[in-house]
Chains A and B, each alone.
Chain A
């Protein structure tokens, strides 16, 4: 499989001029299309920093990041926003839906940003809400949905622009067991059937158990990179 994400000796230092904090030290990793990868490690190990850097939310202090053939560091801020819009889907720990929009509108929002025509938007949103099992909740606002349902809407939103890969930062952290399993079932199915690439940062053993690759970070360095059988 071709690498969709490639980092070469990526380091990240926060506060370089005051009290430097080395969040990542020369991390090199390649993630191929269709992977279902978990980045694990103790708090402060650099999981979120790595996720932010490969998601184009943050820039490395040194090293090189290539995602889907784009050199992330070479992109301007506005180009980076466009890149995120078209190539990456995000799922956040706290769902981070737009509270004033319905489930349907939240999923449709990214497609509106992409200026997709109405018919295409409607078809895609309906298809995604059906895929995450929320077709009958489409007119509800986030406050009217459970945590699990909100996270499923977030997954549908992340998938809406047909991204190259989805980055999920502790996606099950705020969910009960049943909701977490349900969400993982949906993501595993999308990965299996539609070859969507998922990269998780997580502490959750349930996620780790489902992952086919587990990258362990300790003190900003990769301490272990384990491939598992599906």
Chain B
């Protein structure tokens, strides 16, 4: 009876009800849009950070990361590389030689991290090859190839085939300089990363970093069988923790880190996706509360005499309270599917097409964000919305319902 009465009551004034339903639907859509956008942005940032910079797990010699000194290398990196690469959950593993140094052109000098990679293995853990704007990625066909970011190239006036001099300390603390030639210019979505890295082949860098070992260990096309860093990309990032534990147990002398330890910002964003979606939902719902209160209050005040009559003929206060609450919830529940469907379709569209924010690409890249945001939304959000909406409606119904039950029937009946 109450449900039927509540349902018919909300259609007494269709314009007003449709207006508030439109606001609810728009609010739900906006909440899903914002949550999808932010989740997609964070997801893009995380993916970009992991696939361009950090990968899922990194292995170093225990003391290497203290000062990035070249002498702290993994001595049997080739064996470890093969062992890790043979695990089923591993998509790719790459050995890197890393040196802190300077890059100098005829027009400028910059402090830089020089990363020596095996180009073939590196493409299994990094999207760097796909970030090449001009020229090509390292191939190892010619000696002393180097790729540099477009920002750094611009700062020290480099272009394709420009010659640069890299200066750094080798594993014996000797200063080494060597000339490299730019074969490719890249651009990732992370400006600080672009500003701070150049890439060369490991086979070119290793003899310079490890001069004392190069003859004894035997240089191959992939460089020396030693490395400062092993980067591991997994089928799924959730597998990082199990691999980390396994490697720590097998290699107590090495420093194993998962991506959350490597990139605390990624860990922070990742842990906040759920909260951020919820925050957007709550903000929208709070805004809706006031709209719904206003509508329901009007509905109650203009039915004052009728509510008085209902109390006079024996409808008790709890029933009147429930009727007003039901009306409020119905308003929300009728509108929610529309907003949910619109939100779902919008998120789905932008998850495929992406939202192009190239106008703000410079600012976004400064924060490591992609200029095209592919929306993403945790499925649980689609359940949270109706639940929150019912909560919102309940919250919004309290005051009008209280107003309704606190009237004096004798006075209300005579109200014009």
Contact = CB atoms under 8 A, between A and B. Distances in A.
B314 A98 contact: no
Interface in B287-310: 305-306, 309-310
Contacts of A96: 305-306, 309, 413
B311 A94 contact: no
A52 B314 contact: no
Interface in B5-35: 5, 8-9, 11-12
A17 B1 CA distance: 42
B1 A112 contact: yes
Nearest to B413: A92
A219 B174 CA distance: 115
B83 interface: no
A99 B306 contact: yes
A81 B413 contact: no
B295 to A, nearest CB: 17
B242 interface: no
Contacts of A55: 312
A83 to B, nearest CB: 8
A108 B161 CA distance: 92
Contacts of B314: 81-82, 84-86, 110, 113-114, 161
B5 A92 contact: no
A203 to B, nearest CB: 15
B317 A78 contact: yes
Contacts of B130: none
B409 A57 contact: yes
Contact of A101 (B5, B309, B410): B5
B367 to A, nearest CB: 55
B86 interface: no
B5 A81 contact: no
A100 B5 contact: yes
A102 B414 CA distance: 23
A110 B9 contact: no
B317 A81 contact: yes
B54 to A, nearest CB: 62
Contacts of B5: 98, 100-101
A87 B88 CA distance: 80
Contacts of A216: none
A77 B410 CA distance: 13
A157 interface: yes
Most chain B CB within 10 A, of A48, A81, A85, A109, is at A81
Contact of A100 (B8, B309, B311): B8
Nearest to A106: B313
B179 interface: no
Most chain A CB within 10 A, of B12, B413, B414, is at B413
A113 to B, nearest CB: 5
Contacts of B313: 84-85, 90, 109-110, 113, 157-158
Contacts of B316: 78, 81-82
A94 B12 CA distance: 19
A81 B319 CA distance: 12
Contact of B9 (A48, A57, A100, A158): A100
Contacts of A114: 314
A197 to B, nearest CB: 17
B313 to A, nearest CB: 6
B145 to A, nearest CB: 80
Contacts of B315: 81, 85, 113
Given A58-B410, A78-B317, A81-B317, A98 B312 contact: no
B178 to A, nearest CB: 87
Contacts of A100: 5, 8-9, 11-12
A90 B306 CA distance: 13
A98 B317 contact: no
Contacts of B319: 113
A61 to B, nearest CB: 14
A157 B317 CA distance: 20
Interface in A109-164: 109-110, 112-114, 157-158, 161
A92 B409 CA distance: 12
Interface string A62-103: 000000000000000110011011100010101010111100
Nearest to B303: A99
A52 to B, nearest CB: 5
Nearest to A52: B410
Interface string A188-209: 0000000000000000000000
B317 to A, nearest CB: 7
B309 to A, nearest CB: 4
Nearest to B311: A81
Most chain A CB within 10 A, of B306, B313, B317, is at B313
Interface in B305-358: 305-306, 309-317, 319
7 contacts: A82-B314, A85-B315, A86-B314, A98-B5, A100-B8, A109-B313, A110-B314
Q: List the 7 closest A-B pairs by CB distance, nearest first.
A: A85-B314, A100-B8, A57-B410, A96-B309, A58-B410, A52-B410, A112-B1
